[in-house]
Structure 1
Amino acid sequence: MKLVIIEPLGVEQEKLLKMAEETLGNSLEIVYYDNRTTDTQTLIERGKDADIIAVSNLPLNKEVIEGCKNLKMLAVAFTGVDHIAMDACRERNIVVSNCAGYSNAAVSDLVFGLLISLYRNIIPCNEVVRKAGTKDGLVGFELEGKKFGVVGTGAIGSRVASIAKAFGCEVYAYSRTVKEIEGVNFVDLDTLLSTCDVVSLHVPLNNATKGLINSEKLSLMKKNSVLINTARGPVVDSQALADALNQGKIAGACVDVFEVEPPVDEDHPLLSAKNLIATPHIAFATKEALVKRAVIVFDNVKAFLAGKPQNVMK
């Protein structure tokens, strides 16, 4: 059996391979690639003899999946699998296991890092103090007492809700599945959008959530409200969000995800929008989270080899 780690997983190579050895022993050959490529033929060449491929957020299209003739399992070092040609995997009965849970703390941390940066004008404050300036025009807001909305109450959304409560926020939530979470008011999406000062998105990307936040939904939000997207880029209509910001329909936005993986084109509408903080899809990427992720990857491979696959995506 052969495992191909088809792209770097964010952990130093020596440490990563040691982790693999500790979990998997000598049960299979391991090949590691220390650089990313999106070239289809190169990816097929890398994976053509692999029984198992470990991949992070590198897109694997149908042609790549079909070109890897021996492939039996994909160990996806990510929570979402929208970058994987899942239909092709189903056709060939390839097991796809993900790494749900590794970035719960990391993503939640960034939500509040972004929000506080926006609320307290941290970026412009840093710039002005280096130019012998003062706080004039930079007095911000505090979180206590704000109405905080969470769209999607999976593991990350639920953690964000708990942190928002700790800040003294009044927390609202919208989710397909209503849960009993103490101190969280479950409402419909339109009520959440029209009520909350902060709206944080935590839904997967699928047919139901693509374009979920469009111009119609943005028009429901309050003029002083802030939208945070650390979920998936296509959940939000970027042009509609840029228009809402530039026209003052909402007060600000924090965006970690776009329709494509960074680098993002300089002319992307959000990059010139007012009152927006953007980060390059880094929410999941902390030193601790990437180690947790690698642990899950190799545990998933071990479970597959034992005939008991886990964290399987359908």
Structure 2
Amino acid sequence: MKIVLLESLAVSDEVLQKYTRDLEQKGHTFCAYSRCDDEAALCERAKDADILLLANMPLKGSIIRQCTHLQFIDVAFTGVDHVDLQAAEEMHVAVSNASGYSNESVAELALGMTIDCLRNVEAVSARCRHQGTKEGLVGRELGGKTVGIIGFGKIGRRAAELFHAFGCPILAYDSNPIAQMPDYVQQTSLDELLRHADVVSLHCPLVESTRGLMNAERISMMKHRAILINTSRGPVVDSQALAEALNSGHLAAAAADVFEMEPPIPREHPLLNAKNCLVTPHIAFASEESMLRRAEIVFDNLYAFLHGEQKNVILPR
């Protein structure tokens, strides 16, 4: 089979060769490319592939439909909203993801962003660099603050564990039933969570029911001086509504690792110009450890598929 990696997996050549050596010995062809956003060039690279590997680059239906040999799309990411699943289903192409590779990295960043917002770390760092003091920037402690987790999957569950370790009461909401709820977590409705949480941390996937979930109405329901953390998907939040809530002082702070588009983010984006908004260029998943886990999962998916099985199924073979 021809196996094409469309973008870097952010691991060393030695790690990549460890996983691809057996492929070549068994007669498969493996081609690795750097990321390319030109559709014609991307199509040329992909069109003869039996298997495509990619991380978070968009894979449009117009490309998938031209890949007449394609059997399997192996996504090195948890979310798959950047892949046209309808086109994949039409072409009878199986799709798997790298579920679980970034649980720790994302949960840790959500916690870190929360502390940053509560303690005004970004602002006081800038103040210090300009020979200033803490005047007017005394922060708040995390311990004892009620944390609301929206989306109680693997990442949300791990985030809850970390916040609980800091002495935070935990509220959780998920549109699906939550199995094996920890005894320190109180499951509640979305509205109740928004009304009572001092910190709201988003960990839900991007599907139609979550697109625009945190709109102006729901943001207005949040407690005065609450904090909103988004390490999930950008379109889950109405950025303009969030910026207005920050600029008006309704929310004390927010942190966004994700936006409606992938970085670079336009200078005029409302969250880049809002008060007390910590922004990062989609780094929650990206740690040395998570990249190694991701490569392991992706190639485990690949070898399973070559042996007639499928793991981490999004669309079955």
TM-score band w.r.t. shorter chain = over 0.9
TM-superposed CA distance for 1:131, in Å, is 2.8
Task: Describe the SS at the equivalent of 1:67.
Answer: coil
TM-superposed CA distance for 1:24, in Å, is 7.6
Instruction: Look up the match of 1:133.
Output: 132
Instruction: Look up the match of 2:26.
Output: 26
**CA deviation digits over 1:262-293, x for unaligned, max 9?**
11111011110111000000000011101110
- Letter of the 2:256 partner, please give it: V
Instruction: Look up the match of 1:49.
Output: 48
Task: Describe the SS at the equivalent of 1:300.
Answer: helix
**CA deviation digits over 1:27-56, x for unaligned, max 9?**
5111011x2112211111011111111000
Task: Describe the SS at the equivalent of 1:106.
Answer: helix
Alignment gaps of 5+ in structure 1: none
The answer to whether the 8 Å contact 1:24/1:302 transfers is: no
* Cα separation, 2, equivalents of 1:204 and 1:44: 28
* Cα separation, 1, equivalents of 2:128 and 2:253: 23
1:266 maps to 2:275: no
List aligned pairs for 1:41-120, cutoff 5 A.
Answer: 41-120=40-119
Instruction: Look up the match of 2:231.
Output: 230
Once superposed, what is the RMSD of the aligned Cα atoms?
Answer: 1.3
- Letter of the 2:94 partner, please give it: V
* Cα separation, 2, equivalents of 1:299 and 1:178: 28
Task: Describe the SS at the equivalent of 2:107.
Answer: helix
Task: Describe the SS at the equivalent of 1:59.
Answer: coil
Instruction: Look up the match of 1:253.
Output: 254
* Cα separation, 2, equivalents of 1:130 and 1:207: 44
Task: Describe the SS at the equivalent of 1:126.
Answer: helix
Alignment gaps of 5+ in structure 2: none
The answer to whether the 8 Å contact 2:196/2:223 transfers is: yes
1:154 maps to 2:134: no
Instruction: Look up the match of 2:296.
Output: 295
The answer to whether the 8 Å contact 1:2/1:30 transfers is: yes
Task: Describe the SS at the equivalent of 2:65.
Answer: helix
Single out whichever of 35-44 and 121-130 deviates more from structure 2: 121-130
Change (3 A) 1:116 1:23: farther
Single out whichever of 304-313 and 8-17 deviates more from structure 2: 8-17
* Cα separation, 2, equivalents of 1:271 and 1:104: 26
Task: Describe the SS at the equivalent of 2:87.
Answer: helix
Instruction: Look up the match of 1:16.
Output: 16
* Cα separation, 1, equivalents of 2:138 and 2:22: 52
**CA deviation digits over 1:203-223, x for unaligned, max 9?**
100111000000010110011
**CA deviation digits over 1:99-142, x for unaligned, max 9?**
00000000011101111111112122222223332222221111
Identity %: 48
Change (3 A) 1:183 1:27: farther
**CA deviation digits over 1:51-80, x for unaligned, max 9?**
111000010001110122211101100001
TM-superposed CA distance for 1:145, in Å, is 0.6
Instruction: Look up the match of 2:199.
Output: 198
* Cα separation, 2, equivalents of 1:70 and 1:248: 55
Structure 2 length-normalised TM = 0.96
The answer to whether the 8 Å contact 2:23/2:30 transfers is: no
The answer to whether the 8 Å contact 2:212/2:235 transfers is: yes
Task: Describe the SS at the equivalent of 2:81.
Answer: coil
* Cα separation, 1, equivalents of 2:87 and 2:127: 53
TM-superposed CA distance for 1:25, in Å, is 4.9
Instruction: Look up the match of 1:7.
Output: 7
Q: Which stretches of structure 1, 4 residues or longer, exceed 6 Å deviation after superposition?
A: none
- Letter of the 1:12 partner, please give it: S
TM-superposed CA distance for 1:13, in Å, is 3.0
Structure 1 length-normalised TM = 0.97
Change (3 A) 1:25 1:226: farther
* Cα separation, 1, equivalents of 2:292 and 2:284: 15
TM-superposed CA distance for 1:22, in Å, is 5.5
* Cα separation, 2, equivalents of 1:26 and 1:291: 24
